[in-house]
Amino acid sequence: MSIQITRRNLIRGAAILLGTTALPSFALAAAGGRLVIASDSEPRNLNPAMVASNGVFFIASKIVEPLAELGYDGMKPLLATSWHGSDDGKTLTFKLREGVTWHDGQPFTAADVAFSAMEVWKPLQNLGRAIFVNLEAVETPDDHTAIFRFSQPTPVQLIQNALPVVTSVLPKHLYEGSDIKENPLNLAPVGTGPFKFAEHRPGQYYRLTKNDAYWNAGEPNIDELIYRVLPDRAAAANSLEAGEIGLAAFSMVPLVELDRIGQIDGLEVITKGYEALTYQLIVEINHRREHMANLKVRQAIAHAIDKQFVIDAIFLGYAAAATGPVPANAPEFYTPKVTQYDFDLDKANALLDEAGYPKDASGVRFSLDLLPAPYFSETKQFGDYLRQALIKIGIEARIVANDSAGHQKAVYTDHDFDLAIAPTVFRGDPAISTTVLVRSGLPAGVSFSNQGGYANPQADALIDKAAVTLDTDKRTALYKEFQQLVAADLPLINVADWSFTSVAATSLGNVANNPRWPVSNWSDLTVER
């Protein structure tokens, strides 16, 4: 039987090989193959138990596993096989999987879960600080039972929704007694997942290798994952077309290239796999600045933004106008009954006049620093748009462009900004990475949190009450009230809700088979040989 050499076959073969002289040559694995993946960033920390963000999860979720993962038909057990809460909401008991070992061969036990919860998730994690604020202790009556004790009623609904995001488990024996924040394993993690960390060459790639002792027999199906660092997203499309990479997730291929790339034999554009990862384009506001603390100024900025133009011109229709902090595709919590800010330059200018900021002879009312997050082309493009939109109402915005580390420090540690643009994520429950954007009193340095100095006792009270409300209907009602308050008082401005696309070689199997697919563990992913 002869084999026809086609572009499709070439891409299939090349997708599991490194096709660039900028990287060292890897021999083809004997079985299962290799997948080369586009990555547009290099996280400074690969510890998902401490930094719960998609940039970290994209790589680390294949190495370090949480207690459970979200599937299209509900929660899927991973390191925990079951869980149940007490009637008073103060106890949550997890039964843990037996026969699991860490990548160094040591057994996984309840002690690892207790250590991770009390020493990392609760005090150190950007999201866990809020989720586990009332966690008092974790008891371990045996090696495969962990009993969480809370000082206040804690909704099982919340903890279950949070499991994939905040419960990545660390090996106690490798972290205990160390400075957790500075432990070198944060850069070379050891986990229980289907892949092991092998190496990182800065500016080039991360390499993960198959865990032959993975607890789920027969998985993983792939021998190596290579995350090739491609900071320039336009390069991802070219690399896919050339067969140098086999997967580009998180819209690594620019939206303007999707139609063309989708026509290439051997490649497909996939919009599934992000349903639980709704991104939100928001304008962060530094309320420490006098002009930003004025509600009329914030309202004027909201009226100056043409959301439909942003959706059409920047997202090319792959987004929806936001009404508030909860997206419409979260019907359990969403309410449209909130204050709206239609695009209206006349109203915006009138509000600024009322606020006491008249235009000078050159037409400028005041100047400010605008910091677009550098993570996505959309956030950078929106920064350019917002600068132009603001000058139309007499606000002169100076774009301050930083790399990822510089942006994080300026906004979340030094508070050196007037406005910032962030791509936050709604993760299925307002208590997970949403209320943290409004809650006051958070320490400096917590990424994607309220570092603008906004303080509203009413908002804090709603957040705190919802955190201990066990009745689902009452809890949902509180979050609808929360949305109404946020939309009226504008601690931040929600502009658009968007999802991502993936472009994958058709030789890949089991792609986008859960609503958090890019940040799940890929144990069942296959490469056709």
The count of C-alpha atoms lying within 13 angstroms of the C-alpha of 327, restricted to the half-sphere facing its C-beta, is: 24
Q: Is 53 part of any domain?
A: no
Q: Is 448 part of any domain?
A: yes
Do 403 and 321 share a domain, yes or no? Answer: yes
Three-state DSSP class for residue 206: strand
Do 340 and 489 share a domain, yes or no? Answer: yes
Q: Which helix (H) or strand (E) holds 481?
A: helix 472-489
Alpha helices in 329-469 (DSSP H): 345-354, 377-391, 404-408, 457-467
**Domain encompassing residue 224:** 7-42+202-275+501-527
Domain tally, the chain: 3
Q: Is 478 part of any domain?
A: yes
Task: Determine the Cα–Cα distance for residues 165 and 444; give it in Å rounded to an integer.
Answer: 22
Do 321 and 439 share a domain, yes or no? Answer: yes
Do 320 and 401 share a domain, yes or no? Answer: yes
Cα dist from 22 to 72, 235, 295, 372, whole Å? 39, 14, 52, 30
Q: Which helix (H) or strand (E) holds 234?
A: helix 233-241
Do 13 and 111 share a domain, yes or no? Answer: no
Do 452 and 514 share a domain, yes or no? Answer: no
Q: Is 158 part of any domain?
A: yes
Do 477 and 431 share a domain, yes or no? Answer: yes
CB 115, CB 174: distance < 8 Å: no
Note the pLDDT of residue 394. 98
pLDDT tens, N- to C-terminus, the chain (529 residues): 333 333 334 334 444 444 333 444 433 322 358 999 999 888 889 999 999 888 999 999 999 999 999 999 999 999 999 999 999 999 999 999 999 999 999 999 999 999 999 999 999 998 888 889 899 999 999 999 999 999 999 998 899 989 999 999 999 999 999 999 999 999 999 999 999 999 999 999 999 999 999 999 999 999 999 999 998 878 889 999 999 999 999 989 988 899 899 999 999 999 999 988 899 999 999 999 999 999 999 999 999 999 999 999 999 998 999 999 999 988 889 999 999 999 999 999 999 999 999 999 999 999 999 999 998 888 999 999 999 999 999 999 999 999 988 999 999 999 999 999 999 989 889 998 899 999 999 889 888 899 999 999 999 999 999 989 999 899 999 999 999 999 999 999 999 999 889 999 999 999 999 999 999 999 999 988 6
Q: Is 339 part of any domain?
A: yes
Do 307 and 231 share a domain, yes or no? Answer: no
Do 37 and 102 share a domain, yes or no? Answer: no
Burial class (CB in 10 A: 0-12, 13-18, 19+), 474: exposed
CATH number, domain at 245? Answer: 3.40.190.10
Task: Determine the Cα–Cα distance for residues 363 and 365; give it in Å rounded to an integer.
Answer: 7
Residue 195 backbone phi and psi in degrees, to 5: -130, 150
pLDDT digits (tens, 9 = 90+) for 157-208: 899 989 999 999 999 999 999 999 999 999 999 999 999 999 999 999 999 9
Helix axis angle, 345-354 relative to 295-303, nearest 10°? 170
Task: Determine the Cα–Cα distance for residues 412 and 291; give it in Å rounded to an integer.
Answer: 20
Q: What's the token pair of residue 496?
A: 């658009």
Do 515 and 470 share a domain, yes or no? Answer: no
Nearest one of 434, 462, 437, 433 to 451, comparing CA atoms: 437
How far is C-alpha 62 from the chain's CA centre?
15
Residue 20 backbone phi and psi in degrees, to 5: -145, 140
Count of Cβ atoms closer than 10 Å to residue 363 Cβ: 11
Do 447 and 506 share a domain, yes or no? Answer: no
Q: Is 48 part of any domain?
A: no
Q: Is 58 part of any domain?
A: no
Task: Determine the Cα–Cα distance for residues 185 and 203; give it in Å rounded to an integer.
Answer: 19
CATH number, domain at 325? Answer: 3.10.105.10
* Residue 464 neighbours by CB under 8 Å, 6+ apart: none
CATH number, domain at 144? Answer: 3.90.76.10
Task: Determine the Cα–Cα distance for residues 331 and 352; give it in Å rounded to an integer.
Answer: 35
Q: What's the token pair of residue 308?
A: 């439909």
Q: Is 216 part of any domain?
A: yes
Do 410 and 299 share a domain, yes or no? Answer: yes
